[in-house]
Structure 1
Amino acid sequence: MSNEIPIGSPVRTQAIINRYFMRAKKSLGQNFLVDLTAIKGIVEAADIQPDDQVIEIGPGIGSLTEQLLMAGAKVFAYEVDDNLPEILQNELPKEVNGQPIAERFELMMKDILQADFAADLGDFFDLTKPIKVVANLPYYITTPIIFFLNKAKLKFVSLTLMMQKEVAERLCAKPGTKAYGPLTIAVQTQMQVEIALSVKSSSFIPRPQVDSSVVVLTPLVDKPAIGDAEHFNWVVKMCFAQRRKTLNNNLKPLLPVATERAQVFAELGLEPKVRPEQLSIQQFAQLAQRIPVRKS
Protein backbone atom coordinates (compact mmCIF):
# COMPACT_ATOMS: atom_id res chain seq x y z
CA MET A 1 0.00 0.00 0.00
CA SER A 2 1.48 3.36 -1.06
CA ASN A 3 2.31 5.71 1.77
CA GLU A 4 1.02 8.53 -0.41
CA ILE A 5 -2.42 7.47 0.73
CA PRO A 6 -3.13 9.11 4.13
CA ILE A 7 -3.18 6.80 7.14
CA GLY A 8 -6.66 8.02 8.03
CA SER A 9 -8.23 6.87 4.78
CA PRO A 10 -10.38 3.72 5.17
CA VAL A 11 -8.29 1.74 2.67
CA ARG A 12 -4.94 2.58 4.30
CA THR A 13 -6.25 1.99 7.82
CA GLN A 14 -7.66 -1.39 6.85
CA ALA A 15 -4.38 -2.30 5.16
CA ILE A 16 -2.47 -1.43 8.35
CA ILE A 17 -4.89 -3.45 10.46
CA ASN A 18 -4.42 -6.44 8.16
CA ARG A 19 -0.63 -6.08 7.90
CA TYR A 20 -0.08 -6.06 11.65
CA PHE A 21 -2.95 -8.42 12.54
CA MET A 22 -4.41 -5.70 14.71
CA ARG A 23 -7.50 -5.80 16.87
CA ALA A 24 -8.86 -2.71 18.54
CA LYS A 25 -8.50 -3.12 22.31
CA LYS A 26 -11.77 -2.47 24.09
CA SER A 27 -9.90 -2.10 27.38
CA LEU A 28 -8.15 0.98 25.92
CA GLY A 29 -11.24 2.34 24.21
CA GLN A 30 -9.62 2.06 20.79
CA ASN A 31 -11.62 3.16 17.76
CA PHE A 32 -9.64 4.13 14.65
CA LEU A 33 -10.86 7.28 12.92
CA VAL A 34 -11.17 6.68 9.15
CA ASP A 35 -12.77 9.94 8.05
CA LEU A 36 -10.21 12.29 6.50
CA THR A 37 -12.67 15.17 6.51
CA ALA A 38 -13.09 14.77 10.28
CA ILE A 39 -9.34 14.35 10.86
CA LYS A 40 -8.55 17.51 8.92
CA GLY A 41 -11.45 19.20 10.71
CA ILE A 42 -9.75 18.47 14.04
CA VAL A 43 -6.51 20.02 12.79
CA GLU A 44 -8.43 23.06 11.54
CA ALA A 45 -10.37 23.38 14.82
CA ALA A 46 -7.05 23.37 16.70
CA ASP A 47 -5.83 26.15 14.39
CA ILE A 48 -2.51 24.38 13.82
CA GLN A 49 0.16 26.72 12.52
CA PRO A 50 3.75 25.95 11.41
CA ASP A 51 5.95 25.06 14.40
CA ASP A 52 3.07 24.81 16.86
CA GLN A 53 3.95 22.58 19.80
CA VAL A 54 1.29 19.88 20.14
CA ILE A 55 0.74 17.15 22.71
CA GLU A 56 -1.25 14.27 21.25
CA ILE A 57 -2.90 11.73 23.53
CA GLY A 58 -3.22 8.22 22.12
CA PRO A 59 -1.91 8.57 18.55
CA GLY A 60 -3.06 5.06 17.65
CA ILE A 61 -1.81 4.16 14.17
CA GLY A 62 -1.02 7.79 13.37
CA SER A 63 -4.08 9.03 11.46
CA LEU A 64 -4.30 12.36 13.28
CA THR A 65 -0.55 12.49 13.99
CA GLU A 66 0.24 12.47 10.27
CA GLN A 67 -2.11 15.39 9.56
CA LEU A 68 -0.76 17.40 12.50
CA LEU A 69 2.77 16.91 11.17
CA MET A 70 1.75 17.82 7.64
CA ALA A 71 0.24 21.05 8.99
CA GLY A 72 3.65 21.93 10.41
CA ALA A 73 3.21 20.97 14.06
CA LYS A 74 5.89 19.51 16.28
CA VAL A 75 4.16 16.58 18.02
CA PHE A 76 4.87 14.89 21.34
CA ALA A 77 2.57 11.88 21.80
CA TYR A 78 1.63 9.79 24.82
CA GLU A 79 0.62 6.15 24.18
CA VAL A 80 0.00 3.08 26.34
CA ASP A 81 -0.45 0.32 23.72
CA ASP A 82 2.88 -1.48 23.34
CA ASN A 83 1.91 -2.72 19.87
CA LEU A 84 1.80 0.74 18.35
CA PRO A 85 5.39 2.10 18.37
CA GLU A 86 6.41 -0.26 15.57
CA ILE A 87 3.39 0.71 13.49
CA LEU A 88 3.99 4.43 13.99
CA GLN A 89 7.66 4.05 13.12
CA ASN A 90 6.84 2.18 9.92
CA GLU A 91 3.75 4.06 8.77
CA LEU A 92 4.42 7.73 9.55
CA PRO A 93 6.38 9.57 6.85
CA LYS A 94 10.16 9.44 7.23
CA GLU A 95 10.41 13.19 6.81
CA VAL A 96 7.99 16.09 7.00
CA ASN A 97 8.42 19.33 5.08
CA GLY A 98 12.06 18.45 4.45
CA GLN A 99 12.86 17.59 8.07
CA PRO A 100 13.52 14.08 9.48
CA ILE A 101 10.55 12.73 11.43
CA ALA A 102 12.72 12.48 14.57
CA GLU A 103 12.96 16.28 14.65
CA ARG A 104 9.18 16.69 14.45
CA PHE A 105 7.75 13.74 16.38
CA GLU A 106 8.46 12.02 19.67
CA LEU A 107 6.55 9.14 21.26
CA MET A 108 6.49 8.41 24.98
CA MET A 109 5.01 5.16 26.28
CA LYS A 110 3.21 6.50 29.34
CA ASP A 111 -0.31 7.02 30.62
CA ILE A 112 -1.10 10.71 30.17
CA LEU A 113 -2.51 10.74 33.73
CA GLN A 114 1.00 9.89 34.96
CA ALA A 115 2.68 12.60 32.89
CA ASP A 116 5.29 14.91 34.36
CA PHE A 117 5.20 17.50 31.63
CA ALA A 118 8.26 19.46 32.69
CA ALA A 119 10.40 16.32 32.72
CA ASP A 120 8.79 14.61 29.74
CA LEU A 121 8.73 17.55 27.34
CA GLY A 122 11.77 19.55 28.41
CA ASP A 123 14.17 18.14 25.82
CA PHE A 124 11.69 18.35 22.91
CA PHE A 125 9.55 21.45 23.46
CA ASP A 126 10.36 25.00 24.45
CA LEU A 127 8.30 25.16 27.63
CA THR A 128 8.34 28.96 27.62
CA LYS A 129 6.18 28.89 24.49
CA PRO A 130 2.49 27.92 24.16
CA ILE A 131 1.42 24.30 23.82
CA LYS A 132 -1.74 22.87 22.29
CA VAL A 133 -3.32 19.52 23.13
CA VAL A 134 -5.04 17.61 20.33
CA ALA A 135 -6.51 14.15 20.79
CA ASN A 136 -9.09 11.58 19.83
CA LEU A 137 -9.82 10.51 23.41
CA PRO A 138 -11.01 7.12 24.63
CA TYR A 139 -14.55 7.68 25.88
CA TYR A 140 -14.00 6.05 29.27
CA ILE A 141 -11.21 8.38 30.35
CA THR A 142 -12.27 11.71 28.83
CA THR A 143 -13.28 13.48 32.05
CA PRO A 144 -10.19 12.50 34.11
CA ILE A 145 -7.94 13.69 31.29
CA ILE A 146 -9.68 17.07 31.05
CA PHE A 147 -9.34 17.65 34.80
CA PHE A 148 -5.73 16.47 34.80
CA LEU A 149 -4.78 18.84 31.99
CA ASN A 150 -6.65 21.70 33.63
CA LYS A 151 -4.60 21.31 36.82
CA ALA A 152 -1.28 20.86 35.01
CA LYS A 153 1.24 23.64 35.40
CA LEU A 154 1.82 24.01 31.69
CA LYS A 155 1.13 26.84 29.29
CA PHE A 156 -1.79 25.36 27.33
CA VAL A 157 -3.46 27.68 24.83
CA SER A 158 -6.15 25.18 23.84
CA LEU A 159 -7.38 21.62 24.19
CA THR A 160 -8.97 20.24 21.01
CA LEU A 161 -10.52 16.93 21.97
CA MET A 162 -12.71 14.35 20.27
CA MET A 163 -15.11 12.80 22.76
CA GLN A 164 -18.50 11.16 23.13
CA LYS A 165 -21.21 13.53 21.89
CA GLU A 166 -23.11 13.31 25.19
CA VAL A 167 -20.05 14.40 27.18
CA ALA A 168 -19.45 17.30 24.76
CA GLU A 169 -23.03 18.46 25.27
CA ARG A 170 -22.55 18.35 29.04
CA LEU A 171 -19.38 20.45 28.81
CA CYS A 172 -21.07 23.28 26.93
CA ALA A 173 -24.54 23.04 28.51
CA LYS A 174 -26.45 26.10 29.69
CA PRO A 175 -28.37 26.50 32.96
CA GLY A 176 -31.88 25.09 32.78
CA THR A 177 -30.98 22.19 30.47
CA LYS A 178 -30.80 18.48 31.28
CA ALA A 179 -27.13 18.28 30.32
CA TYR A 180 -26.13 21.01 32.80
CA GLY A 181 -24.47 19.65 35.93
CA PRO A 182 -21.31 19.41 38.07
CA LEU A 183 -19.08 18.55 35.09
CA THR A 184 -20.41 21.54 33.15
CA ILE A 185 -19.78 23.89 36.03
CA ALA A 186 -16.34 22.54 36.95
CA VAL A 187 -15.13 22.99 33.37
CA GLN A 188 -16.83 26.31 32.63
CA THR A 189 -15.30 27.95 35.71
CA GLN A 190 -11.92 27.39 34.03
CA MET A 191 -12.44 27.24 30.27
CA GLN A 192 -14.46 28.49 27.36
CA VAL A 193 -16.10 25.54 25.61
CA GLU A 194 -17.02 25.29 21.94
CA ILE A 195 -18.19 22.32 19.89
CA ALA A 196 -16.28 22.56 16.60
CA LEU A 197 -17.73 19.62 14.67
CA SER A 198 -19.75 16.43 14.96
CA VAL A 199 -18.47 13.03 13.85
CA LYS A 200 -20.75 10.08 13.09
CA SER A 201 -20.06 6.66 14.55
CA SER A 202 -19.64 5.37 10.98
CA SER A 203 -16.37 7.34 10.80
CA PHE A 204 -14.61 4.78 13.02
CA ILE A 205 -13.28 1.23 12.85
CA PRO A 206 -14.65 -0.53 14.83
CA ARG A 207 -17.85 1.46 14.86
CA PRO A 208 -18.81 2.70 18.36
CA GLN A 209 -22.42 2.77 19.49
CA VAL A 210 -22.53 6.57 19.80
CA ASP A 211 -21.57 9.63 17.78
CA SER A 212 -18.68 11.92 18.72
CA SER A 213 -17.99 15.64 18.86
CA VAL A 214 -14.81 17.67 18.65
CA VAL A 215 -14.61 20.22 21.46
CA VAL A 216 -12.21 23.16 21.74
CA LEU A 217 -11.45 24.20 25.33
CA THR A 218 -9.70 27.53 25.81
CA PRO A 219 -8.51 28.77 29.23
CA LEU A 220 -10.57 31.72 30.45
CA VAL A 221 -8.76 35.02 30.88
CA ASP A 222 -11.32 36.28 33.38
CA LYS A 223 -12.41 33.33 35.49
CA PRO A 224 -15.52 33.46 37.70
CA ALA A 225 -14.80 34.36 41.31
CA ILE A 226 -15.64 31.07 43.03
CA GLY A 227 -13.37 31.34 46.07
CA ASP A 228 -12.12 28.01 47.42
CA ALA A 229 -12.36 25.76 44.34
CA GLU A 230 -12.46 22.51 46.33
CA HIS A 231 -15.27 23.77 48.54
CA PHE A 232 -17.15 25.22 45.56
CA ASN A 233 -16.99 21.94 43.60
CA TRP A 234 -18.10 19.96 46.67
CA VAL A 235 -21.11 22.23 47.19
CA VAL A 236 -22.07 21.94 43.51
CA LYS A 237 -21.76 18.15 43.64
CA MET A 238 -23.96 17.98 46.74
CA CYS A 239 -26.55 20.23 45.12
CA PHE A 240 -26.89 17.71 42.28
CA ALA A 241 -26.75 14.65 44.58
CA GLN A 242 -30.40 13.82 43.84
CA ARG A 243 -31.08 15.53 40.57
CA ARG A 244 -34.82 15.01 40.59
CA LYS A 245 -35.18 16.80 43.92
CA THR A 246 -35.28 20.53 44.52
CA LEU A 247 -32.24 22.49 45.57
CA ASN A 248 -33.85 22.93 48.99
CA ASN A 249 -33.98 19.16 49.54
CA ASN A 250 -30.41 18.64 48.32
CA LEU A 251 -29.19 21.33 50.71
CA LYS A 252 -30.56 19.62 53.82
CA PRO A 253 -27.31 17.71 54.57
CA LEU A 254 -25.36 20.98 54.24
CA LEU A 255 -27.83 23.27 56.04
CA PRO A 256 -30.01 21.06 58.27
CA VAL A 257 -31.97 23.95 59.80
CA ALA A 258 -34.92 24.98 57.61
CA THR A 259 -34.75 28.64 58.67
CA GLU A 260 -31.09 28.81 57.61
CA ARG A 261 -31.96 27.47 54.16
CA ALA A 262 -34.85 29.90 53.88
CA GLN A 263 -32.54 32.78 54.75
CA VAL A 264 -30.00 31.72 52.10
CA PHE A 265 -32.74 31.45 49.46
CA ALA A 266 -34.01 34.90 50.37
CA GLU A 267 -30.51 36.42 50.20
CA LEU A 268 -29.91 34.91 46.76
CA GLY A 269 -33.39 35.73 45.46
CA LEU A 270 -34.20 32.08 44.79
CA GLU A 271 -37.58 30.38 44.91
CA PRO A 272 -37.85 27.46 47.38
CA LYS A 273 -38.75 25.00 44.61
CA VAL A 274 -35.87 25.94 42.31
CA ARG A 275 -33.90 22.99 40.94
CA PRO A 276 -30.08 22.90 40.94
CA GLU A 277 -29.79 22.93 37.14
CA GLN A 278 -31.48 26.35 37.08
CA LEU A 279 -28.64 28.11 38.93
CA SER A 280 -25.87 29.95 37.11
CA ILE A 281 -22.22 29.55 38.04
CA GLN A 282 -22.33 32.93 39.77
CA GLN A 283 -25.31 31.83 41.87
CA PHE A 284 -23.51 28.62 42.85
CA ALA A 285 -20.52 30.73 43.89
CA GLN A 286 -22.76 32.90 46.06
CA LEU A 287 -24.36 29.79 47.52
CA ALA A 288 -21.00 28.15 48.29
CA GLN A 289 -20.00 31.25 50.28
CA ARG A 290 -22.95 30.63 52.59
CA ILE A 291 -22.24 26.92 53.19
CA PRO A 292 -19.89 25.98 56.05
CA VAL A 293 -16.57 24.54 54.88
CA ARG A 294 -16.15 20.84 55.66
CA LYS A 295 -13.82 20.04 58.53
CA SER A 296 -10.82 18.04 57.41
Structure 2
Amino acid sequence: MEPSPRASRRLGQNFLRARWVAREFARWACGFTRLLEIGVGQGFLTSEILRRCRPSLLVGIELDRRLMEWLGSLSFFHPVFAPVQADALSPPVVLERFDAVYGSIPYSITGPLLSLLSVEAQKPAMLLLQREVVDRIAARPAASSYGRITVLVQLVYRVKPGPVVPPSAFRPRPRVYSRIVVLEPREDRPGREELRRVEELTRCMFSGRNRKAAKQASRCLGLSRDEAEKLLGGRRVYELSPSDFYQLAVMA
Protein backbone atom coordinates (compact mmCIF):
# COMPACT_ATOMS: atom_id res chain seq x y z
CA MET A 1 0.00 0.00 0.00
CA GLU A 2 1.20 3.51 -0.79
CA PRO A 3 2.33 5.69 2.15
CA SER A 4 -0.39 7.87 3.61
CA PRO A 5 -0.58 11.33 1.97
CA ARG A 6 1.07 14.20 3.80
CA ALA A 7 -0.90 16.75 5.79
CA SER A 8 -2.59 19.43 3.71
CA ARG A 9 -1.95 23.01 4.80
CA ARG A 10 -5.04 24.11 2.87
CA LEU A 11 -7.23 21.80 4.98
CA GLY A 12 -5.47 22.76 8.21
CA GLN A 13 -4.36 19.17 8.84
CA ASN A 14 -2.14 18.20 11.77
CA PHE A 15 -2.11 14.44 12.19
CA LEU A 16 -2.10 13.05 15.72
CA ARG A 17 0.87 10.85 16.65
CA ALA A 18 0.72 10.55 20.47
CA ARG A 19 -0.25 7.02 21.49
CA TRP A 20 -1.33 8.11 24.97
CA VAL A 21 -3.98 10.39 23.44
CA ALA A 22 -5.32 7.51 21.34
CA ARG A 23 -5.54 5.37 24.49
CA GLU A 24 -7.57 8.11 26.22
CA PHE A 25 -10.03 8.10 23.34
CA ALA A 26 -10.22 4.30 23.26
CA ARG A 27 -10.96 4.05 27.00
CA TRP A 28 -13.89 6.40 26.49
CA ALA A 29 -15.09 4.95 23.17
CA CYS A 30 -15.21 1.37 24.44
CA GLY A 31 -18.32 2.33 26.41
CA PHE A 32 -20.31 2.69 23.16
CA THR A 33 -21.18 0.39 20.27
CA ARG A 34 -22.13 2.70 17.36
CA LEU A 35 -19.52 5.40 16.83
CA LEU A 36 -19.12 8.36 14.49
CA GLU A 37 -15.63 9.81 13.98
CA ILE A 38 -15.21 13.32 12.62
CA GLY A 39 -11.98 13.98 10.72
CA VAL A 40 -10.43 10.51 10.47
CA GLY A 41 -7.18 11.75 8.93
CA GLN A 42 -4.68 8.90 8.72
CA GLY A 43 -6.80 6.72 11.00
CA PHE A 44 -4.64 7.03 14.12
CA LEU A 45 -7.55 7.20 16.59
CA THR A 46 -9.59 4.83 14.45
CA SER A 47 -6.97 2.07 14.55
CA GLU A 48 -6.59 2.27 18.31
CA ILE A 49 -10.35 2.13 18.90
CA LEU A 50 -10.83 -0.77 16.49
CA ARG A 51 -7.99 -2.63 18.20
CA ARG A 52 -9.13 -2.05 21.79
CA CYS A 53 -12.93 -1.86 21.49
CA ARG A 54 -15.67 -3.94 19.90
CA PRO A 55 -17.95 -1.44 18.14
CA SER A 56 -20.74 -2.86 16.01
CA LEU A 57 -20.37 0.15 13.68
CA LEU A 58 -17.74 2.86 13.27
CA VAL A 59 -18.37 5.42 10.52
CA GLY A 60 -15.51 7.81 9.82
CA ILE A 61 -16.08 11.09 7.98
CA GLU A 62 -13.07 12.53 6.17
CA LEU A 63 -13.06 15.47 3.76
CA ASP A 64 -9.69 14.74 2.13
CA ARG A 65 -10.27 12.48 -0.87
CA ARG A 66 -6.55 11.57 -0.97
CA LEU A 67 -6.90 9.59 2.27
CA MET A 68 -9.77 7.33 1.22
CA GLU A 69 -7.65 4.56 -0.33
CA TRP A 70 -5.49 4.50 2.79
CA LEU A 71 -8.56 4.30 5.03
CA GLY A 72 -10.05 1.60 2.81
CA SER A 73 -7.33 -0.78 4.04
CA LEU A 74 -8.64 -0.36 7.60
CA SER A 75 -12.11 -1.19 6.37
CA PHE A 76 -10.80 -4.35 4.68
CA PHE A 77 -9.38 -5.69 7.95
CA HIS A 78 -12.20 -4.27 10.12
CA PRO A 79 -15.55 -4.61 8.30
CA VAL A 80 -17.35 -2.63 11.03
CA PHE A 81 -15.42 0.47 9.90
CA ALA A 82 -16.95 2.50 7.07
CA PRO A 83 -14.96 5.53 5.85
CA VAL A 84 -17.05 8.20 4.12
CA GLN A 85 -15.61 11.04 2.04
CA ALA A 86 -17.75 14.02 3.04
CA ASP A 87 -17.92 17.39 4.78
CA ALA A 88 -18.49 16.89 8.52
CA LEU A 89 -20.68 20.00 8.60
CA SER A 90 -23.10 18.35 6.14
CA PRO A 91 -22.83 14.71 7.22
CA PRO A 92 -24.46 12.22 4.81
CA VAL A 93 -25.50 10.05 7.77
CA VAL A 94 -28.40 10.04 10.22
CA LEU A 95 -26.86 11.32 13.45
CA GLU A 96 -29.49 9.56 15.56
CA ARG A 97 -28.03 6.19 14.47
CA PHE A 98 -24.94 6.70 16.61
CA ASP A 99 -24.33 6.34 20.34
CA ALA A 100 -21.42 8.77 20.45
CA VAL A 101 -19.20 11.09 18.40
CA TYR A 102 -15.44 11.66 18.65
CA GLY A 103 -12.57 13.17 16.72
CA SER A 104 -9.58 15.47 16.44
CA ILE A 105 -11.20 18.59 15.04
CA PRO A 106 -9.57 21.19 12.74
CA TYR A 107 -9.82 24.69 14.17
CA SER A 108 -11.50 26.03 11.01
CA ILE A 109 -14.70 24.03 11.61
CA THR A 110 -14.79 23.98 15.42
CA GLY A 111 -17.53 26.58 15.95
CA PRO A 112 -19.95 25.26 13.30
CA LEU A 113 -19.31 21.67 14.38
CA LEU A 114 -20.03 22.42 18.05
CA SER A 115 -23.27 24.09 16.96
CA LEU A 116 -24.18 21.02 14.89
CA LEU A 117 -23.45 18.65 17.78
CA SER A 118 -25.41 20.79 20.24
CA VAL A 119 -28.50 21.48 18.14
CA GLU A 120 -28.80 18.40 15.93
CA ALA A 121 -26.81 15.48 17.37
CA GLN A 122 -26.93 15.91 21.18
CA LYS A 123 -24.84 12.75 21.56
CA PRO A 124 -22.00 12.04 24.00
CA ALA A 125 -18.77 13.33 22.50
CA MET A 126 -15.03 13.27 23.09
CA LEU A 127 -13.18 15.88 21.06
CA LEU A 128 -9.62 17.09 20.68
CA LEU A 129 -9.80 20.86 20.20
CA GLN A 130 -7.52 23.84 20.50
CA ARG A 131 -7.03 24.61 24.19
CA GLU A 132 -8.54 28.09 23.85
CA VAL A 133 -11.74 26.58 22.41
CA VAL A 134 -12.08 24.22 25.38
CA ASP A 135 -11.55 27.19 27.70
CA ARG A 136 -14.30 29.02 25.82
CA ILE A 137 -16.95 26.30 26.01
CA ALA A 138 -16.16 25.67 29.70
CA ALA A 139 -16.21 29.39 30.63
CA ARG A 140 -18.49 30.91 33.23
CA PRO A 141 -20.57 34.06 32.66
CA ALA A 142 -18.51 37.29 32.79
CA ALA A 143 -15.29 35.47 31.82
CA SER A 144 -13.38 37.02 28.93
CA SER A 145 -13.77 33.81 26.88
CA TYR A 146 -17.53 33.49 27.52
CA GLY A 147 -19.54 33.74 24.30
CA ARG A 148 -22.43 32.46 22.24
CA ILE A 149 -20.91 29.02 21.61
CA THR A 150 -20.47 28.68 25.39
CA VAL A 151 -24.18 29.26 25.89
CA LEU A 152 -25.26 26.78 23.25
CA VAL A 153 -22.91 23.99 24.34
CA GLN A 154 -23.61 24.36 28.07
CA LEU A 155 -27.39 24.24 27.57
CA VAL A 156 -26.97 20.78 26.03
CA TYR A 157 -23.83 19.34 27.64
CA ARG A 158 -21.87 19.07 30.83
CA VAL A 159 -18.42 20.17 29.71
CA LYS A 160 -15.54 18.15 31.19
CA PRO A 161 -12.09 19.40 30.14
CA GLY A 162 -9.41 16.71 30.07
CA PRO A 163 -5.64 16.54 29.54
CA VAL A 164 -3.74 19.21 27.64
CA VAL A 165 -2.04 17.91 24.48
CA PRO A 166 1.23 19.62 23.41
CA PRO A 167 2.16 20.51 19.81
CA SER A 168 4.70 17.65 19.82
CA ALA A 169 1.77 15.19 19.71
CA PHE A 170 1.08 16.13 16.07
CA ARG A 171 2.81 16.02 12.69
CA PRO A 172 3.34 18.66 11.50
CA ARG A 173 3.44 20.50 14.80
CA PRO A 174 0.75 23.17 15.23
CA ARG A 175 1.64 26.47 16.89
CA VAL A 176 -0.88 26.03 19.71
CA TYR A 177 -1.71 23.57 22.46
CA SER A 178 -4.77 21.34 22.25
CA ARG A 179 -6.97 19.78 24.90
CA ILE A 180 -9.27 16.79 25.19
CA VAL A 181 -12.84 17.54 26.25
CA VAL A 182 -15.75 15.23 27.03
CA LEU A 183 -19.30 16.46 26.41
CA GLU A 184 -22.01 14.66 28.38
CA PRO A 185 -25.63 15.39 27.35
CA ARG A 186 -27.81 16.91 30.06
CA GLU A 187 -31.05 15.14 30.90
CA ASP A 188 -32.85 18.51 31.04
CA ARG A 189 -31.47 19.87 27.75
CA PRO A 190 -33.83 21.94 25.57
CA GLY A 191 -35.39 20.57 22.40
CA ARG A 192 -33.95 21.25 18.97
CA GLU A 193 -36.45 23.96 18.04
CA GLU A 194 -35.78 25.81 21.29
CA LEU A 195 -32.04 25.55 20.69
CA ARG A 196 -32.43 27.03 17.23
CA ARG A 197 -34.13 30.01 18.86
CA VAL A 198 -31.28 30.30 21.36
CA GLU A 199 -28.78 30.12 18.50
CA GLU A 200 -30.53 32.95 16.67
CA LEU A 201 -30.92 35.04 19.82
CA THR A 202 -27.29 34.72 20.92
CA ARG A 203 -26.10 35.66 17.44
CA CYS A 204 -27.94 38.97 17.86
CA MET A 205 -27.22 39.52 21.57
CA PHE A 206 -23.47 38.88 21.35
CA SER A 207 -23.12 41.35 18.48
CA GLY A 208 -23.12 43.80 21.39
CA ARG A 209 -21.32 41.63 23.95
CA ASN A 210 -20.37 44.52 26.26
CA ARG A 211 -23.65 46.40 26.02
CA LYS A 212 -26.40 46.39 28.62
CA ALA A 213 -28.37 43.18 28.17
CA ALA A 214 -31.71 45.01 28.46
CA LYS A 215 -30.82 47.30 25.55
CA GLN A 216 -29.77 44.36 23.37
CA ALA A 217 -32.86 42.35 24.32
CA SER A 218 -35.06 45.28 23.31
CA ARG A 219 -33.35 45.36 19.92
CA CYS A 220 -33.20 41.59 19.36
CA LEU A 221 -36.59 40.58 20.75
CA GLY A 222 -38.68 43.71 20.40
CA LEU A 223 -39.24 43.98 24.16
CA SER A 224 -40.00 47.34 25.69
CA ARG A 225 -37.05 48.85 27.53
CA ASP A 226 -38.94 48.72 30.85
CA GLU A 227 -39.83 45.04 30.38
CA ALA A 228 -36.27 44.15 29.44
CA GLU A 229 -34.80 46.01 32.43
CA LYS A 230 -37.26 44.30 34.76
CA LEU A 231 -36.09 40.91 33.49
CA LEU A 232 -32.36 41.57 33.20
CA GLY A 233 -31.56 44.46 35.49
CA GLY A 234 -28.32 46.27 34.81
CA ARG A 235 -26.31 43.25 33.68
CA ARG A 236 -24.35 43.23 30.46
CA VAL A 237 -24.75 40.59 27.75
CA TYR A 238 -21.64 38.65 28.77
CA GLU A 239 -22.95 38.40 32.36
CA LEU A 240 -26.11 36.48 31.43
CA SER A 241 -26.12 32.74 32.16
CA PRO A 242 -27.06 30.07 29.60
CA SER A 243 -30.39 29.64 31.39
CA ASP A 244 -31.02 33.40 31.08
CA PHE A 245 -30.59 33.17 27.31
CA TYR A 246 -32.86 30.14 27.19
CA GLN A 247 -35.62 31.93 29.11
CA LEU A 248 -35.36 34.92 26.78
CA ALA A 249 -35.47 32.71 23.68
CA VAL A 250 -38.57 30.75 24.67
CA MET A 251 -40.53 33.86 25.67
CA ALA A 252 -39.94 35.48 22.27
State the TM-score, normalized to the length of structure 1: 0.73
Say if 2:9 is the partner of 1:33.
no
Counterpart contact for 2:39–2:105, Cα < 8 Å: yes
Amino acid in structure 2 at the alignment position of 1:23: R
Q: What residue in structure 2 maps to residue 265 of structure 1? A: 229
Q: Over residues 1-57 of structure 1, what are the superposed CA-to-partner deviations in whole Å (9 max), with x where a residue is unaligned?
A: xxxxxxxxxxxxxxx9xx73843112222101111112212222x2414x7221112
Counterpart contact for 2:137–2:149, Cα < 8 Å: yes
Q: What residue in structure 2 maps to residue 148 of structure 1? A: 116
Give 1:289 shift. 5.2
Greater Cα radius of gyration, structure 1 or 2: 1
Q: Over residues 92-138 of structure 1, what are the superposed CA-to-partner deviations in whole Å (9 max), with x where a residue is unaligned?
A: 5x9xxxxx7242322122222332324xx9xxxx94xx522111111
Q: Over residues 131-175 of structure 1, what are the superposed CA-to-partner deviations in whole Å (9 max), with x where a residue is unaligned?
A: 2211111110122223223444x6x64111111111111111111
More helix by share: 2
Q: What residue in structure 2 maps to residue 214 of structure 1? A: 180
Once residues 4 and 194 of structure 2 are traced to their aligned partners in structure 1, the CA distance between those partners, rounded to angstroms, is 51
Give 1:183 shift. 0.6
Amino acid in structure 1 at the alignment position of 2:244: Q
Q: What residue in structure 2 maps to residue 83 of structure 1? A: 66
Q: What residue in structure 2 maps to residue 11 of structure 1? A: none
Say if 2:51 is the partner of 1:70.
yes
Give 1:212 shift. 0.8
Q: Over residues 188-240 of structure 1, what are the superposed CA-to-partner deviations in whole Å (9 max), with x where a residue is unaligned?
A: 12222211221112211111111111111122211258984333333322222
The 5 A counterparts of 1:41-56 are: 41-44=24-27, 46-49=28-31, 52-56=33-37
Q: What residue in structure 2 maps to residue 114 of structure 1? A: 90
Label 1:108 to 1:178 Cα distance change in 2 as closer, same or farther (>3 A): same
Once residues 47 and 193 of structure 2 are traced to their aligned partners in structure 1, the CA distance between those partners, rounded to angstroms, is 43
| Equivalent residue pairs, number | 250
Say if 2:131 is the partner of 1:169.
no
Give 1:80 shift. 2.0
Counterpart contact for 1:164–1:211, Cα < 8 Å: yes
State the TM-score, normalized to the length of structure 2: 0.84
Q: What residue in structure 2 maps to residue 10 of structure 1? A: none
Q: Which runs of 5+ in 2 are unaligned?
A: none
Counterpart contact for 1:226–1:232, Cα < 8 Å: no
**From 146, 150, 158, the counterpart of 1:180:** 146
Label 1:225 to 1:174 Cα distance change in 2 as closer, same or farther (>3 A): farther
Task: Please state whether the residue corresponding to 1:28 is helix, strand or coil.
Answer: coil
Label 1:71 to 1:240 Cα distance change in 2 as closer, same or farther (>3 A): same
- Percent identity among equivalent residues? 29
Amino acid in structure 2 at the alignment position of 1:242: G
Counterpart contact for 2:215–2:225, Cα < 8 Å: no
Amino acid in structure 2 at the alignment position of 1:149: L
Q: What residue in structure 1 maps to residue 238 of structure 2? A: 277
Task: Please state whether the residue corresponding to 1:43 is helix, strand or coil.
Answer: helix
Once residues 210 and 148 of structure 1 are traced to their aligned partners in structure 2, the CA distance between those partners, rounded to angstroms, is 24
Q: What residue in structure 2 maps to residue 235 of structure 1? A: 201
Counterpart contact for 2:117–2:123, Cα < 8 Å: no
Label 1:234 to 1:22 Cα distance change in 2 as closer, same or farther (>3 A): closer
Counterpart contact for 1:73–1:104, Cα < 8 Å: no
Task: Please state whether the residue corresponding to 1:163 is helix, strand or coil.
Answer: strand
Report runs of 4+ in structure 1 exceeding 6 Å deviation.
none
**From 46, 51, 57, the counterpart of 2:38:** 57
